[in-house]
Amino acid sequence: MHDFIQYIQSYLDSDKTPGGAGNIFWATVYILLVFGGLSVAVIAMNWLERKILAHMQVRLGPMRVGPHGLLQPIADALKLLLKEDIIPAEADKIVFWIAPFIVTLAAFTVFVVVPFGPTHAITDMNIGILFMLGVSSLSVLGIVTAGWASNSHYPLIGALRSSAQMVSYEVAMGLAVVSVIMMTSLGSLATGLYGVGNVGSQASGTLSMIGIVQAQQAQGVWFIFKFFPLGLIAFAIFAIAMVAETNRAPFDLPEAESELTAGFHTEYSGFRWSLFFLAEYSAMIAVSSIAVTLWLGGWLRPFPGVHGPSIAIPHIWPPADPSAPTGRLDFVFALCPGIAFLLLGAMCFYNVQRMPQHPLFKIQTMGLAGFGATLGLIGLAMFIPAVRDRVEDIFWFSAKVAAFMYLYIWYRGTFPRYRFDQLMKVGWKVLLPIGLALLILTAVVGMRAEIWAQFTGGLR
Amino acid sequence: MNPAATNPPVATPFFFYLLAATMIIGGILVITRKNAVHSAMALITALLAQSGLYLMLYAPFVAGVQIILYAGGIMVLFLFVIMLINIERTVKERQFNKQWLVGIVAAAALGGLFIAVYTTATAGKPLFPEGRVTYGEGQNTQAVAALLFDRSAGQYMFAFEIASLLLLVAIIGAVVMAKKRI
């Protein structure tokens, strides 16, 4: 027992991810935390999407189940679980049964390498970004098989559209990602990078998700601003491709409800349908976290290079970690997570006071007040120094991903759907050439000193 | 440079046998299923298990490329083509491959070769040369890049480019053959 406790504690002192430290207990805890957090995020996203879309269209959205429809996703989940699970008579049973699991597995497995913080990832792989792209590309298999196994016209058309679309946009996406990977080693530091180690004499970049963020930290710039405007263009390509990759509006042709009923998951119902739903939203979160990690500095707070003058408040600041910066601005940003949660709690209490006074709404009002109090308590807990130092990076990462999730909803509320030939044109004739040019330009700008030396006859 | 020193592997035999068994079962299913889509799915399973084996050999880059290229890219195209042909007829049709005798002989010969190599190796001589270079998991990608592109150590750049040229020729050839009018 004593050994076990020591085993658990040994990880807390290290500055590694659970996978990097080889600690099975904490790896399991992190996997459960990520899985649980992801499920909660999907539920919240479901509610938010319906509410925000409704407000964009000057409607109220769900209002009945719980205050402001807060419990609507839970009611929906219950409904889906209790619904009859129908398999069409002529369907290929095994493939029909497996397809939703492939999609879900692919969507959830990528979170193994998503870096919520320098130590807050399940593990850090040397091939991090390659792994994420590879495993998320497996979800197309699930979609194709789902459409085919349904043995019906609309799903098959949806599946064919989806796979053509995903395969096409993966190319542009990959080119944008490669230009960022080149940026990890280009144009700044001359020698060994970020604990990756050197093979041979030259500086080498990294594919590891944590390494990419550390590269941005070391170079003092988010990659969206590096080699301006090259980083920005790469980000724009990725931002377009990732919407197409997740089959969301305006690229939601695979499930275009006005043309194909529901596309590849027309024949699915109940639990299996909810698996597709879960996979779609967690895939959206996954690609958003790729974008955040690669271009927006991952877990780094805004303006990571600006610290302000040092201050010291006994027992509160500076943080326990001696290597952490101690500036005034650092302190203000460290308080942000707590303040954000307190604001959310305050919003709940504002709405408690606006709830109808009718006795039928008594329980709802109390529930909302309880929810607000919980949020407030979480906010207060985030002011405790030990908690504050551990969750700040997770907060910034989640906040950036949340901004992307809002963008997804915004797109859906704003843009009309593309026609299929327009979609292919954008993918192959616009994004791909720009991506190729970008790749070459990034290499040229990054190696400008060496190229110049070649012309002037210097350098070796 | 011993990769096992920094991070000792966990339950290596268990995972090896698990992945190997998955691969073998997947491989058998590929050739025994009559439905071509089922075969393709079994092949995908086998390929994924193979990428797991690459991970166990401290070659994460190869594993990642395996997933992206084979499981993610090529197999999607396979499925694409298979789905466009008429499955119902192929399921009912009698299998007419007549090479099973040759196949058994070839498989037995290969198996015998493996057993022979293994038994001679365990009889005193080592199976693999001592002192081969092993890179840690954290450096695999960088090592592959250095072998390709490094100024002093890079030696496979030309072969790599030739291979990519070959693929380009194949792509153009496919387009020319598929399209009547370009």
Alpha-carbon gap, residue A34 to A437, rounded angstroms: 37
Q: What's phi and psi for B106, nearest 5 deg?
A: -65, -45
Residue numbers in A near B7 (CB within 8 A): 20, 22
C-alpha–C-alpha distance, residues B84 and B80, integer Å: 7
The answer to whether the CB atoms of A22 and B7 lie below 8 A apart is yes
The residue among A95, A98, A102, A126 with the most chain B CBs within 10 A of its CB, best to mutate, is A126
* Domain boundaries, position A106: 2-300+384-454
Q: How many residues does chain A have?
A: 460
Q: Give contacts of A 61-120 with B, CB under 8 A.
A: 92, 94-95, 98
Number of domains in chain B: 1
Q: Which residues of B touch A141 (CB under 8 A)?
A: 44, 71-72, 75-76, 79
d(CA A41, CA A34): 10
Model confidence at B95, pLDDT cuts 50, 70, 90, reads: low
Any bridge partners for residue A310, and if so which? A327
A197 contact residues in B (CB cutoff 8 A): 136, 138-139, 142
pTM: 0.85
CB A131 within 8 A of CB A223: no
The pLDDT-based confidence of B8 (bands split at 50, 70, 90) is low
Q: How many CB pairs (< 8 A) connect A and B?
A: 100
Per DSSP, helices labelled H in A57-92 are 72-82
> Do B60 and A125 lie within an 8 Å CB cutoff?
yes
pLDDT (tens digit, 9 = 90+) per residue, A116-174?
888 888 888 888 888 888 888 888 888 888 888 888 888 888 888 888 888 888 889 98
Is 60 exceeded by the pLDDT of residue A189? Answer: no
Query: Concatenated DSSP letters for B42-80?
Result: HHHHHHHHHHHHHHHTT-HHHHHHIIIIIIIIIHHHHHH
pLDDT classification of A384: cutoffs 50, 70, 90: confident
What's the pLDDT tens digit per position in A330-362? 888 888 888 999 999 999 889 888 888 888 888
**What is the longest distance spanned by two Cα atoms in chain B?**
64
Q: CB–CB of B61/B142 below 8 Å?
A: no
Cα atoms found within 13 Å of the Cα of residue A129, Cβ hemisphere only: 30
Q: Range with the lowest mean pLDDT among A273-282, A434-443, B150-159, B168-177?
A: B150-159
The tokens 């596309």 sit on which residue? Answer: A263
Domain assignment present for A193: yes
Q: Residue range A186-209: average pLDDT?
A: 54
Question: Is A134 contained in some domain?
Answer: yes
pLDDT tens per residue, range A24-75: 888 888 899 999 999 899 989 989 999 999 999 999 888 888 788 888 888 8
* CATH code for position B126: 1.20.120.1200
More confident residue, A11 or A377: A377
* Cβ proximity of A264 and A184 under 8 Å: no
If we measure between CA atoms, which residue out of A239, A241, A246 comes closest to residue A103? A246
A95 to chain B, minimum CA–CA distance in Å? Answer: 8
By CA distance, what is A203's nearest residue in B?
Answer: B142
**Selected residues 127-166 of chain A with any CB under 8 Å from a CB in chain B:** 127, 130-131, 133-135, 137-138, 140-141, 144-145, 148, 156, 160, 163
Q: Report the alpha-carbon distance of residue A142 to residue B71 in Å, rounded.
A: 12
Domain span at residue B91 reads 3-178
Side-chain half-sphere of B166: how many Cα atoms within 13 Å? 6
Using one digit for the tens of pLDDT, what is the confidence trace for B129-155?
555 555 566 677 777 877 887 777 778
Tell me the three state secondary structure of residue A79.
helix
3-class DSSP state of A236:
helix
Of A127, A140, A196, the CB nearest to B61: A127
Spatial distance between the Cα atoms of A411 and A148, rounded to a whole number of angstroms: 29
Residue B27 to residue B21: CA distance in whole angstroms: 10
Task: Compute CA distances A58 → A51, A117, A248, whole Å.
Answer: 10, 38, 22
- List Cβ neighbours of B35 (8 Å cut-off, separation of 6 or more): A92, B87, B90, B91
Cβ separation of B145 and A199 shorter than 8 Å?
Answer: yes
Q: Which tops the pLDDT comparison, A148 or A190?
A: A148
Structure tokens at A55: 């407000």
Q: What are phi and psi for residue A151, nearest 5 degrees?
A: 55, 50
pLDDT of A230 strictly over 70 = yes
| Inside any domain, residue A351 | no
* A260, pLDDT greater than 60: yes
Residue A49 within any structural domain of the chain: yes
Q: Is B63 on the interface with A (CB under 8 A)?
A: yes
Q: How many domains does chain A have?
A: 1
A180-210 burial: b if 16+ Cβ within 10 Å, else e: bbbbbbbebeeeebbebeebbebbbbbbbbb
Q: Give the pair of three-digit tokens for residue A64.
A: 């009945």
* 8 Å CB contact of A197 and B142: yes
The three state secondary structure string of B143-158 is HHHHHHHCCCCCCCHH
Distance of CA A181 to CAs A49, A230, A453, Å? 33, 13, 24
